[in-house]
């Protein structure tokens, strides 16, 4: 496949404020593949997403990330986007003063050569069409980016960006959180329509529910800042039925969160029935 992406993460380590969060994570995504990363809270999933997009808060301290052999870690965030990487964030930022349409048009044009920018008419037709697919109210075109959007509206808007930017490597961080079942169906349909040999997906989720709608080819479990188990869709099903405890038992993990490896005995056990505040 001429345009099929090959995305490779090897031994990736990253820290924030001196604390190591990602502890040697490896994953290979090829065009046409959908990979799901599942894991309890605090295991480093969002850190992985942010690090892959080059968020300045996270410092890479080891490993490599390449897209078609090109060093991604050497690229600024906008260069990563231009190379075809896209992240739908777990907590999208609100930007007052920039409308959704302004933002998306700039993002599309930033990926084009000077002189071949998308015309306003074409852009509006494209945006209107994609918004219709996602059953979004047309007024969202001219609203300030994410300002006052509900959780579900923000997520739908992230998917709108994905549809319009036509990325090659798509990372979705908990796109299902805050979505009711109808919105989840619409979002999943948007993702499924984008599945092709020219694109690879990394879907980060806490719950198996999303994977009923977007069927992954590979499922990985993340704990303590690394992938501790991989399998096919049946792994997600087992996690849904049995939770994460059996994985921890199998691997001898007591605390799955980042930082839970060395200082076990100094930690308050996770499962104590603490009083509700």
Binding positions for Mg ion, rule: CB under 5 A: 45-46, 90
Give 19's Cβ-side CA count (13 Å radius): 12
- From the CB of 15, what's the least distance to ligand ADP, in Å? 9
Alpha helices in 143-227 (DSSP H): 151-165, 181-194, 210-213
Q: Distance between CA atoms of 121 and 26, rounded to whole angstroms?
A: 43
Q: Distance between CA atoms of 12 and 9, rounded to whole angstroms?
A: 6
- From the CB of 49, what's the least distance to Mg ion, in Å? 8
- Asked whether the CA dihedral 252, 14, 63, 208 is positive or negative, the reply is positive
Q: Which is nearer to Mg ion, 45 or 155 (CB)?
A: 45
Interaction of residue 41 with ligand ADP, rule CB under 6 A = yes
Among 42, 54, 63, 92, contact with ligand ADP (rule: CB under 6 A): 42
Interface pattern 233-262 for ligand ADP (x via CB under 6 A):
------------------------xx----
Q: Which is nearer to Mg ion, 100 or 158 (CB)?
A: 158
Pairing mode, if any, of strands 95-99 and 144-145? antiparallel
Q: Distance between CA atoms of 198 and 128, rounded to whole angstroms?
A: 24
- From the CB of 34, what's the least distance to ligand ADP, in Å? 19
Q: What residues have CB less than 8 Å from 43, skipping those under 6 apart?
A: 222, 223, 224, 225, 256, 257, 258
Q: Near ligand ADP by CB under 6 A, which window of 42-50, 64-72, 106-114, 130-138?
A: 42-50
**Residue 114 binding result from Mg ion, ligand ADP, none, given CB thresholds of 5 to 8 Å by partner type:** none
Residue 56 DSSP class: T
Among 5, 44, 92, 200, contact with ligand ADP (rule: CB under 6 A): 44
Token readout for 223 is 């704990």
Q: Distance between CA atoms of 197 and 208, rounded to whole angstroms?
A: 24
Stretch 46-105 residues interacting with ligand ADP (CB under 6 A): 46-47, 57
**Residue 51 binding result from Mg ion, ligand ADP, none, given CB thresholds of 5 to 8 Å by partner type:** none
| Other Cβ atoms within 10 Å of 48 Cβ, number | 28
**Residue 44 binding result from ligand ADP, Mg ion, none, given CB thresholds of 5 to 8 Å by partner type:** ligand ADP
Interface pattern 13-32 for ligand ADP (x via CB under 6 A):
---xx---x-----------
Q: Which is nearer to ligand ADP, 16 or 118 (CB)?
A: 16
Q: Which residues here bind ligand ADP, judged by CB under 6 A? A: 16-17, 21, 39, 41-47, 57, 257-258
């Amino acid at each position: 496949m001429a345009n099929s992406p090959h995305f490779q993460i090897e031994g990736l380590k990253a820290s924030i404020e001196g604390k190591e969060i990602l502890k040697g994570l490896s994953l290979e995504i090829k065009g046409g593949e959908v990979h799901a990363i599942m894991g309890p809270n605090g295991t480093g999933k969002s850190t992985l997403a942010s690090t892959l997009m080059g968020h300045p808060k996270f410092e890479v301290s080891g490993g490599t990330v390449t897209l078609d052999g090109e060093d991604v870690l050497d690229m600024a965030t906008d260069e990563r986007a231009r190379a075809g990487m896209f992240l739908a964030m777990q907590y999208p930022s609100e930007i007052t003063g920039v409308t959704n349409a302004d933002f998306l048009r700039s993002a599309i044009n930033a990926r084009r050569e000077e002189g071949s920018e998308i015309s306003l008419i074409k852009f509006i037709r494209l945006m209107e069409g994609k918004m219709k697919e996602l059953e979004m109210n047309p007024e969202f075109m001219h609203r300030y980016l994410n300002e006052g959007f509900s959780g579900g509206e923000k997520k739908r808007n992230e998917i709108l960006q994905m549809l319009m930017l036509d990325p090659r490597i798509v990372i979705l961080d908990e796109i299902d959180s805050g979505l009711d079942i109808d919105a989840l169906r619409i979002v999943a349909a948007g993702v499924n329509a984008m599945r092709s040999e020219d694109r690879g997906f990394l879907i980060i989720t806490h719950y198996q529910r999303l994977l009923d709608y977007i069927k992954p080819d590979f499922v990985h479990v993340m704990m303590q800042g690394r992938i501790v188990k991989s399998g096919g869709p049946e792994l997600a099903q087992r996690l849904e039925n049995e939770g994460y405890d059996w994985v921890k038992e199998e691997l001898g993990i007591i605390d799955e969160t980042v930082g839970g490896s060395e200082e076990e005995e100094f930690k308050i056990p996770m499962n104590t029935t603490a009083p509700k505040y």
